Structure 1
Amino acid sequence: MRLSHLLPLTLGGIWLAVFAGVLAITLDGSHRTQAWQMQSHAQDTATFLGLALSAAARNDPATTTAMVDALFDRGYYSEITVTATAGGSIVQRRQAPHIEDVPVWFVNLFPLATPPAHAAVIDGWREVANVEVVSHPGRAYEELWRTCRRTCMLLGAIGIASFLLTVGTLRLALAPLAQMMALARNVALRRFDTRIALPWTTELRQVAAAMNDMSDKVEQMLDGQTRLAEDLYRKAHQDPITELPNFRTLKARLDHWLRAEHAPPNGILALIHLDGFAAFNARLGRDHGDALLRQVTQALLRRFGAGPDVVLARGNGAEFLLLRGSPDPLDADALGTMIVDTLRPPLAEAGGGLPVTVRVGLTLLSPVADTSALLARADGALRMAQGAGGRPWHLAEDGQGQAGDHGGWRQRILDSLHDDSLLLHFQPVRTLSGALLHREALARIQGKDGQLLPAAHFMPLIRETGNEARLDRLVLGKLVRDMTAMGEGAQDRIAVNLCTASFADPDFPDWLIHILAGHPALAGRLIFEFSEVDFTAGRSIFAPHEARLSALGVAVAIDRFGQQASALRLIRNGAMAYIKIDGSHIRGIENDPDNQFMVRTLVGIAHGLGIGVIAEYVETAAEFEAVAALGIDAAQGLYIAAPQAG
């Protein structure tokens, strides 16, 4: 119970006790007074009548009757009787007590005794008659009822005024408590924009000041921890000049790319070299050389961007590497021309009297022995481009990739957006103890020959053609149907990957809210996952809809986390259920101290913010034991279980 309710209820209970006590004491005193007054009134009347009859009556019945009637007709008596001493009634007047304007229950609750009063009629020295008078209780009850009502009204008015004053005072005094609760909730949600206005009560003022100070300290601590983790990430994974992933990181991602399900198999690796850069750097100095490298970086980023299907990294010296998922492996020719055309302007503007030109070696992703062989093939293609006198790029001749019947698959992918051939497989995510945390729904497209195509194979084409919203509609629609078919007994949560670009579609957000509102029980079991790169780029698109989804019970999580240092700001400033650490940091982690340190740091920050941590692409017992020792909450991958049809 809230304190603002408990205190008024407690004070109300005390007031009711006081009210009942005061009313009881008042009514008891008034009741005794009225009883005494009736007895006294009856006795005074009996004495008066006895004396009057003694002086005037002389046993005259007519006079006696007249005097008795004069008193009785006033209505203050229920009985007046004059009885002769020798026997026999001289005068008797009696009326049944009739009490008006007083509730019967009140009369029954407070009975008034009306004992008779007696007086003697004296003639000389002889007692000739006896007078008996009984007061009528009606007037006493009216006065007692009037006293009760007035007392209740007075106490009620005092009680209402006291209650209103108490509530008003409590609201003023306890208003900071609501602000304190809001501050505590916001701190738990990593929001530090709430401040508590200092109250006028000394104790609460001290508490409010302490909580404001605590919020500032937590924010500073979290900022410092985040900056430290970002700095460590940059030192280990980024080139200090261009802030691109370094060669070590590119090699790890390429190795993961070749084996991970989410990686496009039809990608192209481009090894870009700036010929003449060494002489340019030696003549104009390091500052000019670094500036040129940054200009080249910005030109490549503007042209190719950064997304789930693109990795741009700095190699050794004047080399850059571009890993690009392509819906068509035959795009290598166009990519080589595009790179050269993109870099020609910044290189021409570099000046210095020394020409700097670009040469590009290209190779298609294909089933090679290992990452080193693929890099060697790209390097060989670069040497061919540098030695040839023709075009400045060269495609490795043995890099035919996985073209095959690519044109047929391309059309099949586009057709699947309309013919409902999409399938869903499910892969469990389990805690370290083996308990099921949730399952992830993975999209598949089935070809005419029955072959299943995972999402990595068709997502580049989906993005290229702008069909993200169409695909997400198909996936969510089928998922809702499958979850409904599971019945009410199924309670496990389901995670599904979405694209932030879908929320830029004018119809998709309202359609999604309508579907979820129509299935409230299912909405509470859904988790929407976004890749880190996609969520970073599209956060502003998704943010306006986040509150509505949260109100329906939908959770949000980040997939493939740890590809860039700025990702730490996502968990620093966003409310999410969990993060999934990218497989490039998990693969071979038992032998990689740098990745172990990074994962341990991420786990510490995330757990401090109440966010779960999941390791994805855990494929060996050694990897599982390593991530378990680092404190992750759950794991997903072939070591845990392979995806299965729903």
Structure 2
Amino acid sequence: MAGKRGGRASAQQGAITLQTLLLLFTGTLLVALLLAAFVTSYGYFRDYVADQLKAHAQDGATATGLSLSNAIDGTDPVASSSLIDAVFDSGQYLMVEYVDHDGAVIAGRTMALRTQVAPEWFLAIAELPLPMAEAEVVRGWSRLGKVRVVSHPGRAYDNLWRITMGLFMGLVVIGGIGLLSLFIMLRWLLRPLKALEAQAHALSQRNFSQRIHMRSTRELNRVTAAMNQMADDLGRLFLGQGKLIQHLRKVNNEDPVTGLASRLAFDQRLKVEVESEEKAAPGVLMLIQLGYFADYSHAYGQQESDELLQEVAGILEAFVSHHVESFAGRRTGAEFAVFLPGASLHDAHGWASALVQELEQRYAALAAPMDTMVWVGLAPARPSETIRELLAAADEALVDAREQGESGVKAADAGDGQHHDMEAWRKIIVDAIRHRNLSMWLQPMVRGEDRQLVHYQVFSRIRTPEGDFRAGLFLPVAERLGLVKDVDRLLVASALDYLREHPGVVLAISLGRGSVADAGFRDDLLSMLDGAGYTARRLWVGVPELAMSYHRNAATALVMALYRSGVPVLVDRFGVGGVPFSYLKNLPFGGMRIDNSFIHELDRHADNRFWLESVIGIARSRGVRVFATGVETAAEYSVLCELGIDGAMGYHLGRPFAADQSSTGE
């Protein structure tokens, strides 16, 4: 996409501007008119001078002939020669001859052409005609001969040269003043056009704040007013569309009292985490219940009860923000749920105990002097387990916690599939980073019924003696441990190396929240991309939407820096961040990748389909491409094709493969 954008920009820069076109056309017309006037004037003066030469020669011939006929004896060669010399010595003739009837020269003089001012090359260009004038010499009734005279054109050439120089200087001065005046006038009249161009570019970048205040001709004033009105209308339209989509997301996915995920939305996302073949990874489900909530509600009323639930929701949101990739929702009444992807049961038990203490302290402070309890049931997600089975195990653990008679945490049996705890994960990830045991895997992003390749999504895996660990297993833990930036740094370097070796391939990577928030990583990323040159423009960089919520300033700075470098940027895991949709108006994102929780069973989920259709519509109006992830069935992909998705990936469309083992088919 960056290449196409750059091509269009080059084409626009190479095109002639309206001001230049008008200046060339009007200037050429002015110069043509002045040249026509110059040529006409020059021709007139040349003909005038030529006529003067002809008349002068004829007068000289007539006067000399009369003198030889009457005053001087034309039959006397000596007398005739004296007269011819006298006439010639006046310096006004090139030739004066007296010839008899046989053409023999009786007396005559000639001289070379000389000028005082006009240069030689001008004489060759002007080339005045030199007509020969003749007059008869007679004595009585006898014809003695003829006098032939050619006027000297030197003075005529000088006069014509002076006239030509005057005309040329007039042409230069008048033409220069005319062109300068034309340039100044066009520049002043067309000032709004440059402002219109800048405003149009700003609109293409989703910036609706730029306005034009310059005044010019009536027509241009109308155009600028229309553009300002259109910018206002588009700004209001985008804001309205963003609010509509945000409202739809809230209605379909948020609990109206707490703002947490609704039961339906939580179960949908949990189902993807647990049952999806592509996404399924270890984790722990946490069910939380406030004891005696019915008594509290009866004693204090609905408003106080809602405020208590909102207090609990705030504590859970803070808890989730410290455990990356985790998410929370309200089940019913005073029961809540949290899922911790990649967590071990041992670690989750410790976190849950601290959470119980915080919740109980807040609950007791609001309910005093009433009795309060907070119970938590934990259940680890096992391979091939359904969401129903996981919820049942967590609910059973919650019942055990209630039966203790006091606040506390109970965990379901972990079985034989207990996952690594945090310290074990720390060692695995640190060793992988230190020894560069991270392999790069690619998954195709395709478009249309014919599944045309769009790009490859890049994933990382850790190579260990136990086997390869997928990104879904270790990345949530790497985020919690603050190691994700080191993982992403290695992944970016590998992706750029791969692009250098495969010129026809386009890749996409997804950055972690911790990477986006880290200033050192952002500097290293930009340095690596700048060092890669145009190769980096074939690398989509995904910024998670949650980073827009928790690290807005850092994410904004990174997106703008990537855009200035010509690197395409997309919003990753769109839909789960819970941030206002309006950030697309101010940031130059080239694409968005819909979270797979909105794609799972899309063919049977009308609300998600309507929401996705609305998102695609507004994204298209902004020039933003929309991609989908987690496509696992033909029915899901069929719906996406009907909606006009720009690209989709998932196990149904193509499984990941090791970049160093399989061909990309470039």
**Which TM-score applies when normalising by structure 1?**
0.90
Q: 1:377 aligns with which of 380, 393, 406?
A: 393
Query: CA distance change for structure 1 residues 473 and 72 in 2, over 3 Å: closer, same or farther?
Result: farther
Separation in 2 of the partners of 1:98 and 1:500? 93
Contact 2:425 2:477 in 1 (8 A): no
The letter for the 1-side match of 2:156 is A
Offset, 1:543: 2.7
The letter for the 2-side match of 1:35 is A
Look up the match of 2:3: none
Contact 2:323 2:480 in 1 (8 A): no
Query: CA distance change for structure 1 residues 370 and 6 in 2, over 3 Å: closer, same or farther?
Result: same
Contact 2:625 2:646 in 1 (8 A): yes
2:18 is aligned with 1:3: yes
2:62 is aligned with 1:32: no
What's the secondary structure of 2:655's corresponding residue?
coil
Separation in 2 of the partners of 1:484 and 1:143? 75
Query: CA distance change for structure 1 residues 435 and 103 in 2, over 3 Å: closer, same or farther?
Result: farther
Separation in 2 of the partners of 1:72 and 1:200? 70
Alpha-carbon displacement from aligned partner over 1:197-249 (angstroms, at most 9, x marks no partner): 25331112222222222222222222222212221221111011221111111
Q: 1:446 aligns with which of 442, 460, 463?
A: 463
Give the stretch that moved more between structures: 424-433 or 54-63. 54-63
Contact 2:446 2:649 in 1 (8 A): yes
Give the stretch that moved more between structures: 210-219 or 471-480. 210-219
2:224 is aligned with 1:235: no
Separation in 2 of the partners of 1:146 and 1:499? 82
Offset, 1:498: 1.7
What's the secondary structure of 1:524's corresponding residue?
helix
Give the stretch that moved more between structures: 553-562 or 235-244. 553-562
Separation in 2 of the partners of 1:509 and 1:108? 75
What's the secondary structure of 2:581's corresponding residue?
helix
Look up the match of 2:124: 108
Contact 2:379 2:393 in 1 (8 A): yes
The letter for the 2-side match of 1:6 is L
How many residue pairs get matched? 642
Look up the match of 1:23: 38
Offset, 1:12: 2.7
Separation in 2 of the partners of 1:539 and 1:416? 30
Q: 1:187 aligns with which of 203, 222, 228?
A: 203
Contact 1:327 1:458 in 2 (8 A): no
Separation in 2 of the partners of 1:534 and 1:545? 11
Query: CA distance change for structure 1 residues 380 and 590 in 2, over 3 Å: closer, same or farther?
Result: same
Offset, 1:586: 1.4
Query: CA distance change for structure 1 residues 362 and 73 in 2, over 3 Å: closer, same or farther?
Result: farther
Look up the match of 1:244: 260
Equivalent residues in 2 for 1:198-237, closer than 5 Å: 199-237=215-253
The letter for the 2-side match of 1:3 is L
Equivalent residues in 2 for 1:78-227, closer than 5 Å: 78-83=94-99, 89=105, 91-99=107-115, 101-102=117-118, 104-119=120-135, 130-197=146-213, 199-227=215-243
The letter for the 2-side match of 1:146 is R
Separation in 1 of the partners of 2:513 and 2:176? 56
Look up the match of 1:293: 309
Contact 1:54 1:122 in 2 (8 A): yes
Alpha-carbon displacement from aligned partner over 1:143-168 (angstroms, at most 9, x marks no partner): 22332232222222222222222222
Separation in 2 of the partners of 1:276 and 1:69? 145
Give the stretch that moved more between structures: 195-204 or 125-134. 125-134
What's the secondary structure of 2:54's corresponding residue?
helix
Contact 1:261 1:454 in 2 (8 A): no
Look up the match of 1:641: 654
Look up the match of 1:632: 645
Q: 1:256 aligns with which of 249, 252, 272?
A: 272
Separation in 1 of the partners of 2:153 and 2:484? 92
Offset, 1:339: 0.6
2:498 is aligned with 1:482: yes
The letter for the 1-side match of 2:653 is I
Contact 2:543 2:570 in 1 (8 A): yes
Offset, 1:401: 5.3
Give ranges in structure 1 of 5+ residues lacking alignment: none
Equivalent residues in 2 for 1:402-417, closer than 5 Å: 402-403=418-419, 408-417=424-433
What's the secondary structure of 2:257's corresponding residue?
coil
Look up the match of 1:559: 572
Separation in 2 of the partners of 1:74 and 1:467? 110
Look up the match of 1:496: 509
Separation in 2 of the partners of 1:512 and 1:563? 25
Give the stretch that moved more between structures: 300-309 or 379-388. 300-309
Q: 1:397 aligns with which of 405, 413, 428?
A: 413
2:473 is aligned with 1:457: yes
Contact 2:356 2:407 in 1 (8 A): no
Q: 1:436 aligns with which of 444, 453, 470?
A: 453
Query: CA distance change for structure 1 residues 509 and 142 in 2, over 3 Å: closer, same or farther?
Result: farther
Alpha-carbon displacement from aligned partner over 1:282-322 (angstroms, at most 9, x marks no partner): 22222222222222222333344277512122221112222
Look up the match of 1:582: 595
Contact 2:342 2:474 in 1 (8 A): no
Query: CA distance change for structure 1 residues 548 and 164 in 2, over 3 Å: closer, same or farther?
Result: farther
Contact 1:80 1:93 in 2 (8 A): yes
Contact 2:479 2:513 in 1 (8 A): no
Separation in 2 of the partners of 1:90 and 1:177? 82
Query: CA distance change for structure 1 residues 239 and 69 in 2, over 3 Å: closer, same or farther?
Result: farther
The letter for the 1-side match of 2:31 is L
2:556 is aligned with 1:540: no
The letter for the 1-side match of 2:290 is L
Separation in 2 of the partners of 1:257 and 1:322? 12
Alpha-carbon displacement from aligned partner over 1:579-604 (angstroms, at most 9, x marks no partner): 22211111112222222222222222
Offset, 1:331: 0.9
The letter for the 1-side match of 2:499 is M
- The share of aligned pairs that are identical, in percent, is 31
Offset, 1:431: 0.9
Offset, 1:189: 2.9
The letter for the 2-side match of 1:322 is V
Contact 1:264 1:309 in 2 (8 A): no
Contact 1:423 1:443 in 2 (8 A): yes
The letter for the 2-side match of 1:257 is E
Q: 2:337 aligns with which of 311, 321, 333?
A: 321
What's the secondary structure of 1:446's corresponding residue?
strand
2:612 is aligned with 1:599: yes
The letter for the 2-side match of 1:38 is L
Give the stretch that moved more between structures: 527-536 or 54-63. 54-63
Contact 1:308 1:533 in 2 (8 A): no
Offset, 1:53: 6.4
Give the stretch that moved more between structures: 319-328 or 222-231. 319-328
Please give the root-mean-square deviation of Cα atoms over the aligned residues, in Å. Answer: 3.0
Look up the match of 1:614: 627
Alpha-carbon displacement from aligned partner over 1:595-615 (angstroms, at most 9, x marks no partner): 222222222222222222222
Query: CA distance change for structure 1 residues 505 and 228 in 2, over 3 Å: closer, same or farther?
Result: closer
Give ranges in structure 2 of 5+ residues lacking alignment: 1-15, 660-666
Offset, 1:447: 0.7
Contact 1:426 1:442 in 2 (8 A): yes
**Which TM-score applies when normalising by structure 2?**
0.88
Separation in 1 of the partners of 2:421 and 2:299? 51
